[in-house]
């Protein structure tokens, strides 16, 4: 029976990749007086719901979705959490 899953996906730049947006935010914070803030990195946070027959099937599909559309595997990492919502 198909289940609905709520997915929370975190896409972050790989540590070796420069993050100009994060640097800009850190610079802005310094100018605002928050000079105790460091290592600002900006990523994406995506929520979606999907139906699948099992949590494994949902996770496999999410892996494909992340690799193909949501993340750029060359420069980004991703991870996700799945939560079962309800039977359909």
Given the rule CB under 8 A, which residues bind a copy of itself? 10-12, 22, 25-26, 28-29, 32, 34, 36-52, 61, 65, 68-70
Please give the DSSP secondary-structure letter assigned to residue 70. I
Give 22 or 59: the residue with its C-beta nearer to a copy of itself: 22
For the beta carbon of residue 67, count every other beta carbon within 10 angstroms: 12
User: What is the nearest approach in angstroms of a copy of itself to the Cβ of residue 74?
Assistant: 19
Q: If we measure between CA atoms, which residue out of 55, 43, 58, 42 comes closest to residue 10?
A: 43
User: What is the nearest approach in angstroms of a copy of itself to the Cβ of residue 45?
Assistant: 4
């Amino acid at each position: 029976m198909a289940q609905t899953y709520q997915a929370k996906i975190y896409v972050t730049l790989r540590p070796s990749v420069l993050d100009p947006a994060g640097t800009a935010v850190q610079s802005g914070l310094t100018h605002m007086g928050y000079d105790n803030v460091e290592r600002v990195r900006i990523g994406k946070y995506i929520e979606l719901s999907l139906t699948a027959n099992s949590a494994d099937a949902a996770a496999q599909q999410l892996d494909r979705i992340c690799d193909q559309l949501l993340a750029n595997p060359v420069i980004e990492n991703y991870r996700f959490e799945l939560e079962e919502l309800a039977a359909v």
